[in-house]
Amino acid sequence: MTRRDRPRHGRSVRALVALVTLAVGALLALAPEDAAPAMGEASRHTTLHAATTHGVTHKVPVAAVFTYHPHQDPSEGVIHGAINAVVRIPGGTAVFYSLGGRADSVASNMPPLDLVSPYNAFDAWSVGIIDPQGMKYYQPLTSADEHCLCSKTADIGGLSGPAKPLVGYAVLPELPARMKTATVVFGFGVVLPGIPITDTLPRPTTKASGNIELGGGWPALPSKSAIAATDKSLSILPMAANTAKPQAATSSTPTTTSIALNSSVLFDFGKATLTPAANGVLEDAAAKISKAGTGVVTIVGYTDSIGDDADNQVLSEQRAQAVQAALTKLVTRRGVTFQASGKGGAGTGGRQRHRRGTCAQPARHRDVHEGGAVMTGNGTHPEGRRRTRMPVLAVIAAAAALALCACTSPSPSASAGVTPSAGASVQQLSAKDAAAEILGTRKALPVLGSATGTITGPGVDSAVIEQVLAVRASAASTVVIWRLKSASGARVDAASFQLAHAPLMDTRLLGVVDTATKTTYRPYTYYPAQGNGEDLGCACSKLPQEVDGTGEVLYAVVPPLPTSVTKVSITLPGFGTVKDVPVTRDKG
- For the segment 468-494, what is each residue's pLDDT rounded down to a tens digit? 999 999 999 999 999 999 998 888 877
Are 476 and 578 within one domain? yes
The CATH number linked to 262 is 3.30.1330.60
Please report whether residue 473 resides in a domain: yes
Please report whether residue 532 resides in a domain: yes
Are 184 and 121 within one domain? yes
pLDDT given for residue 495 in this prediction: 62
Are 80 and 223 within one domain? yes
Are 83 and 231 within one domain? yes
Q: What's the average model confidence in pLDDT over 20-38?
A: 35
Are 338 and 432 within one domain? no
Are 75 and 200 within one domain? yes
Please report whether residue 14 resides in a domain: no
Q: Which of 428, 443, 458 is the last residue of a domain?
A: 443
Are 428 and 514 within one domain? no
Structure confidence at residue 585 as a pLDDT band (50, 70, 90): very high
Q: What is the 3-state secondary structure (H, E, C) of 231-247?
A: CHHHHEEEEEEEEEECC
Are 434 and 483 within one domain? no
Beta strands at 205-206 and 218-219: parallel, antiparallel or unpaired: parallel
Are 111 and 202 within one domain? yes
Global pTM value: 0.76
Q: Which of 443, 461, 482 is the last residue of a domain?
A: 443
Structure confidence at residue 261 as a pLDDT band (50, 70, 90): confident
Structure confidence at residue 57 as a pLDDT band (50, 70, 90): confident
Q: What is the 3-state secondary structure (H, E, C) of 115-176?
A: CCCCCCCCECCCEEEEECCCCEEECCCECCCCCECECECCCCCECCCCCCCEEEEEEECCCC
Give Cβ neighbours of residue 337 (< 8 Å, ≥ 6 apart).
Answer: 295, 296, 297, 377
Specify which residues 511 forms β-bridges with: 571
- For the segment 538-566, what is each residue's pLDDT rounded down to a tens digit? 888 887 878 889 888 999 999 999 999 99
Are 477 and 581 within one domain? yes
Distance CA 504, CA 324 (A): 35
pLDDT given for residue 265 in this prediction: 76
Are 211 and 286 within one domain? no
Distance CA 189, CA 538 (A): 10
Please report whether residue 96 resides in a domain: yes
Torsion angles phi and psi, residue 140, rounded to 5 = -55, 145
Give Cβ neighbours of residue 155 (< 8 Å, ≥ 6 apart).
Answer: 124, 166, 168, 209, 210, 211, 212, 219
Higher pLDDT, 52 or 20: 52
Structure confidence at residue 193 as a pLDDT band (50, 70, 90): very high
Tally of domains in the chain: 3
* Average pLDDT in the chain: 75
Whether the per-residue pLDDT at 41 is higher than 50: the answer is no
Whether the per-residue pLDDT at 455 is higher than 80: the answer is no
Distance CA 413, CA 396 (A): 37
Distance CA 360, CA 256 (A): 12
Which residues form the domain of 208? 57-240+417-443
Are 284 and 340 within one domain? yes
Whether the per-residue pLDDT at 10 is higher than 60: the answer is no
**Would residue 290 be called left, alpha or beta, if left means φ above 0 and alpha means ψ between -120 and 50 degrees?**
alpha
Please report whether residue 543 resides in a domain: yes
CB 112 within 8 A of CB 15: no
